[in-house]
Amino acid sequence: MTVTITAFESSPDRGRGLARDMPVRWALEEVGQPYDVRLLSFAGMKAPAHLARHPFGQIPTYEEGDLVLFESGAIVLHIAERHAGLLPVDADARARAIAWIFAALGSVEPPIVDRTIAVLMEGDRPWSEARLPLVEDRIRGVLDRLSGRLGHADWLDGAFSAGDLLMVSVLRRLGSSGLLDDYPNLAAYVARGEARPAFKRAFAAQLAVFTASQQSAPNI
Ligand code: GTB
């Protein structure tokens, strides 16, 4: 059955693969599921046709026959549950991999998103200069723990899983912040994820949307 996802027609990151269609593309590539992409403008995301798919008028969404899903984590989990390769077969290991999905999106990502908002949208506020170090301290607190847990392992819990896919996706959002520089094992972990052939195919596919654009990306 054909899978259709939605993605930005024009993303602020100009193809650096930071928007949330990227983990969905990556998961589909990991399991070898072909997919179509419906590109949406910001107006298109808020049009009734898309609001019927996504209650908040955002990307990504996922359509597979009569099934329509939103939320990148739910979509990646769905893909991982329907196809082999992204979740362990052993029930306990599978539960732990799912816990890492929630950890990536619920524990690690929030302060990282806060930082993006602080830099991109609140930089001109009088309190911004005082707030940014506080947000970055919260990020370091989470990275300290995550780095300690990963140690010298390649992946968070045995074989590469959907939990790693989402954790690497979240850490990539630190981009040029320099915050990963103090955590060589996490930087190497991200590089390992980015070196996977499925990641490269997904990255190339989203980049192709933006190659015609000459605009430069913001420093986030
Ligand atoms: N919790 C939802 C999920 O995980 O699917 C959040 C979805 C979401 O934030 N979607 C964003 C969106 O549609 C795009 S990904 N925004 C438009 C709107 O709300 O009107 C967030 C994103 C956007 C841009 C960058 N970037 O340029 O670096 C990174 C991440």
Other Cβ atoms less than 10 A from the Cβ of 123: the count is: 11
Residue ranges with strand state E in the chain: 3-8, 35-40, 61-64, 67-70
Other Cβ atoms less than 10 A from the Cβ of 89: the count is: 7
Q: How far is the CA of 100 from the centre of ligand 1 (A)?
A: 20
* pLDDT tens sequence for the chain (220 residues): 899 999 999 877 888 999 999 999 999 999 999 999 999 999 999 999 999 999 999 999 999 999 999 999 999 999 999 999 999 999 999 999 999 999 999 999 999 999 999 988 888 888 888 899 999 999 999 999 999 999 999 999 999 999 999 999 999 999 889 999 999 999 999 999 999 999 999 999 999 998 855 455 555 4
> What CA–CA distance (Å, rounded) separates 155 from 14?
29
Q: How far is the CA of 29 from the centre of ligand 1 (A)?
A: 20
**Atom number in ligand 1 closest to CA 59:** 13
Q: How far is the CA of 46 from the centre of ligand 1 (A)?
A: 13
**Atom number in ligand 1 closest to CA 217:** 27
Task: Say what angle helices 109-120 and 128-150 make with each other, to 10 degrees.
Answer: 150
What pTM value is reported for the model?
Answer: 0.95
Q: Which residues does ligand 1 sit against, CB inside 6 Å?
A: 11-13, 18-20, 42, 45, 57-60, 71-73, 220
